[in-house]
Each structure stands twice: as structure tokens, then as C-alpha cells.
Amino acid sequence: MDLTVRIEPLAPAQIELAYPLAQAIAADLTLERWRGYARAMAASREPYRHGIMGAWSSAGYLHGMFGYRVAPDLALGRVLQIDNFVAMGIGSGARAATALIGAARALAAAEDCGAVQALVAPAFAPLFDSHGLVPVLSPSSRGRVLWRSWLLAQERQAAGPPPEER
């Protein structure tokens, strides 16, 4: 059995396939409301991008996703904000979650973000903690935790200026 997980943006034709995962986050979510959210997230505008990333098995099943947006930050210039993080599947949920976290870090680096901010369910808190994202707020009334990593900014400082600036 191939245990590969590939991460790629959710295409408009895949919006309805992701609806069951979205319902795991918000049980009362209607298909119409999900479609509206997903279409709005897919309509990215520069200079700050946004979208939905999906974690797909080699068999073509969607096992996880998160919404993201690149936002301005006074201290760091830009941050990658992720929300609606979910990963499910017997044996594949943990792989999908780990792959999604790696994709978030890579996306933040590609977008020149100084940090990742993630609003996640408490069940995912240990996984985020193990990847170096540090909690900065207690659980909110919606039962989620806001995590923020300053590691990307620190990693960039340790690496020095980009090659074109040296």
C-alpha cells in the first residue's frame, strides 16, 4: 500500500469533495455556506494570497486541509495565517496532518512570511507543539487554540541575508 500524501491547492472542482472534512470542523455547516467560503478563499488577490490546501492520498482521497491567507504584520512584515485545519482517516490522518504542517511552513517560507499563525482544534495542539509552533492564547470560546511560531523569522536571521543581498 502506497502511504504517500501529496499536498496541493484545492481546485474549484474539488470543493464539494472537501465538504465532509469541513463538516468535521463545523457540524452545522451547509453545503451552500461551504461553497461560498471555498470559492472566496480560492479567489486570491495580490499582494496577499489566500486559498485552501488539501492533503491527498495516492488513491485520490482527501484526508486533510487548511485554509490560509498571507497577511501583513507590523513586527514581521508578513505572516501566514491558517485556519480550519483538519486531518482524518484511519492510519492516514496523522500522515496528512504532518504533511499539512510541513506544507504550511514551506508556504510561509515561499511567501517570505516571518511566522505561521494557526487556529486549530485542541486535538491537534500536541502535533503543532511537536513541530515548534508555540501556543500564545488559551482556548477560545469556539474550542480552538491560537498558535504562533516565531521560528521562521529566527531561521531566516540565522541563515543570513538572501544570496542576492550578500
| Element housing 158 (H / E) | helix 151-159
Cross-strand partners of 61:
none
Mean pLDDT of the chain: 81
Which residues in the chain show pLDDT less than 70?
Answer: 1-3, 44-47, 90-92, 135-166
* In the chain, domain spans: 5-165
Pure H helices in 50-119:
93-110
Over the stretch 101-114, which tens digit does the pLDDT of each residue have?
999 989 998 999 88
pTM for this prediction: 0.81
- In this prediction, residue 121 carries a pLDDT of 80
Q: CATH for 5-165, among 3.40.710.10, 3.40.630.30, 3.40.190.10, 3.40.50.300?
A: 3.40.630.30
- In this prediction, residue 103 carries a pLDDT of 94
